[in-house]
Structure 1
Amino acid sequence: MKKNLFSSLLPQYIQVFLLAYDLHSFTRVAETLGITQPAVSKKIAELENELGFDLFVRNSRPIAVTPEAR
């Protein structure tokens, strides 16, 4: 993603991250925002790519926050 586009969309990415942090579920984030779960996963993956580290451990239910994300 281009830096200028990412910068303009940053509030959306932060909103998705904060909801996932609070709700511990990408599905619940999607329901809250009225978007699909794959869209949530994509936004989180793009944010992780920009930051250079994982934000969530996805192989646990509910999802867990990584130490780097705290």
Structure 2
Amino acid sequence: MGAVKKPTNTQAQTEKASEYFKGVINELKKVQWPNRRQLLTYTGVVLVTSAIVSVLLWVVDSGLSFVLTKMLG
């Protein structure tokens, strides 16, 4: 009966990493990437939304600061 060579831990980790990255590459091939126009539109939506949320947070923060200043000061 021949001895079966057991892979070392490093070899097993290398094989797992290789399989993982092959899977990642295969999944990235399935992704439908946006074209330039879509990318610019999505970026604009994110920037506008961020600006609106920032202004709303500033208004609430200023209002709470004003109320607390009047109550405590």
Q: Which has the higher contact order (CA 8 A, sep 6+)?
A: 1
Structure showing greater radius of gyration is 2
Name the structure with the higher helix share.
2
The TM-score normalised by the length of structure 2 is 0.28
Which structure's residues are more often strand, by fraction?
A: 1
